[in-house]
Amino acid sequence: MASLISCPHCGPRPKEEFSVTGDATRLRPASDASDEAWHAYVYLRANPKGVHLEHWQHVGGCRRFLVVERNTATHDVLSVADAAELARGGAA
């Protein structure tokens, strides 16, 4: 059986309908931040092992951006929330 991700808008869907778009824990530097801060934001990436928050897009469905809490070692999906709702301070 295929791995499923429970989209808050479309329900459980195969993971192949989604695209990982990056780390959901990174904070964008201020516009007047140093070149070093921007270099780190754009180019330097961690590769954590264990539970991590990631941005995913449901490209094969509603096209919404989601925040997926996933264990990078086991690939278990622990929670999924709409990224726009989280940004507005909504519940996870």
In whole angstroms, what is the distance from residue 69 CA to residue 77 CA? 6
CA 50 remoteness from chain centre:
14
Tokens representing residue 55 in the block: 């941005």
Number of independent structural domains in the chain = 1
CATH code, domain carrying 79: 3.30.2270.10
Residue 92 maps to a domain: no
Rounded to two decimals, the pTM is 0.83
For 36-75, letters b (16+ CB in 10 Å) and e give eeeeeeeeeeeeeeeebbbbbbbeebbebbbbbbbeeeee
So what's the pLDDT on residue 88? Answer: 86
Tokens representing residue 19 in the block: 């695209």
So what's the pLDDT on residue 90? Answer: 65
Residue 30 maps to a domain: yes
Which domain covers residue 41, as residue numbers? 4-87
Question: How do the pLDDT tens digits run along the chain, 92 residues long?
Answer: 468 999 999 999 999 999 999 899 989 999 999 999 999 999 998 888 999 999 999 999 999 999 999 999 999 999 999 999 988 886 55
